[in-house]
Amino acid sequence: MQRLKVNLGERSYFINIEAGILERTGEIIKEINSGKQVFLVSNPTVFPLYGEKVTDSLKRAGFNVETAFMPDGERYKNLHEAMKILDKAVEFNLERSSVVAALGGGVVGDLAGFVAAIYQRGVDFVQIPTTLLSQVDSSVGGKVAVNHPQGKNLIGSFHQPRTVIIDPITLNTLEEKEYKNGLGEVVKYGLIYDAEFFNFLEENANAIKNKEPDVVVEIIYRSCAIKSIIVEKDEKEAGIRALLNLGHTFGHALEKLTDYEVYGHGEALVMGTVAAAFLARDKKHIGDAELVRIINLYKKLDIYKPFPLIDPEQVYSAMLNDKKVMKGRLRLVLPNSIGSCLITDEADKIEIINAIKKAQQGI
């Protein structure tokens, strides 16, 4: 088993990664919680695939298990569905010593984590992520939230998990497009923090595309390691954690303009990062060679798509509505080289719009 520690003082926890680890869910949770009850939150897509394995393991470890489902889909990550899960928690007499465990992708993880953060002012939370995106990103770092009609993740909190249990075997049932969504975030880690990891992704692009088990474990492990380092340095996003938003301000604008229904988050992220890379090249933070390398890696992984032909003025306006605006100026994360990024508010509207136009044309 690969085990990574996220060092956050008394909120420290392990990320446990291993093929087949779901069978040991119960014993791993036993390590961090001495209560009797696990409240397993999932959805009707994931539970039939892995629910029994997890539930059996929890029971073998001596836990009482109660389950609740939210419907499958981003649009259900809202207060109304969270309330229904809270109603179940009350109905089951969940106690302060109980565990809320999320079995599913980032949507289930974010909503169940939000419930865990507010039920009786916070109970132990365990992440059992089953999409690549949730394994490399949303299950680590403690951001939990639901959406509001006015914005994504507007209602939320920081509530670190007590442990994270990642079984890469779950990716075998994941749709191809969801796997690719996660790859967008994996590339991001190389780009913002680790040139050597970026090289690794270039060299192993085919193995990654073919989901070769060893390589999949490696990309999950290294992505979680980078995210952990960043979260350890800046748990509540006062500084360096903002680097994780590379490509996201452009990407969120695209997601919002298409009502979150056309592009997956990772897909929008790739298109957004390409726009950010054009802007960085125009501002001379990187050269043509780096820009081409970034786009080529996306192409090798088969996740490249040119920026959609939406009016760049409209994209810019949507970007201004993002949470990352300070005093009316956009704060953007831009690549500075392969493996490092900077945060700047020095790009003006015309430069941003030009970068979008170039990303629409591609290279």
According to CB under 6 A, which one of 18, 23, 56, 72 is a site residue for ligand NAD?
Answer: 72
Binding mask 233-272 for ligand NAD (x = CB under 6 A): --------------------------------x-------
Annotation marks residue 148 as catalytic: no
Closest approach of ligand NAD to the CB of residue 144, in Å: 6
Question: Binding to ligand NAD by residue 128, rule CB under 6 A?
Answer: no
Annotation marks residue 245 as catalytic: yes
Task: Describe the chain by its helix, strand, coil percentages, rounded to 5.
Answer: 55, 20, 25
Binding mask 172-211 for ligand NAD (x = CB under 6 A): -xx---x--x------------------------------
Question: Binding to ligand NAD by residue 78, rule CB under 6 A?
Answer: no
Binding mask 152-171 for ligand NAD (x = CB under 6 A): -x----------------x-
Q: Alpha-carbon distance 52 to 54, whole Å?
A: 5
Nearer to ligand NAD, 266 or 312 (CB): 266
Annotation marks residue 265 as catalytic: yes
Q: Alpha-carbon distance 126 to 263, whole Å?
A: 29
- Beta carbons of 295 and 305 less than 8 angstroms apart: no
Q: What is the DSSP letter of 286?
A: S
Nearer to ligand NAD, 265 or 281 (CB): 265
Q: Alpha-carbon distance 20 to 263, whole Å?
A: 31
Q: Is 222 helix (H, G, I), strand (E, B) or coil?
A: helix
Closest approach of ligand NAD to the CB of residue 283, in Å: 27
Question: Binding to ligand NAD by residue 335, rule CB under 6 A?
Answer: no
Q: Alpha-carbon distance 159 to 145, whole Å?
A: 10
Q: Alpha-carbon distance 334 to 286, whole Å?
A: 9
Annotation marks residue 227 as catalytic: yes
- Beta carbons of 46 and 71 less than 8 angstroms apart: no
Annotation marks residue 252 as catalytic: yes
- Beta carbons of 74 and 268 less than 8 angstroms apart: no
Closest approach of ligand NAD to the CB of residue 188, in Å: 11
The residue annotated as part of the active site, out of 248, 281, 285, 331, is 248
- Beta carbons of 88 and 68 less than 8 angstroms apart: yes
Nearer to ligand NAD, 52 or 346 (CB): 52
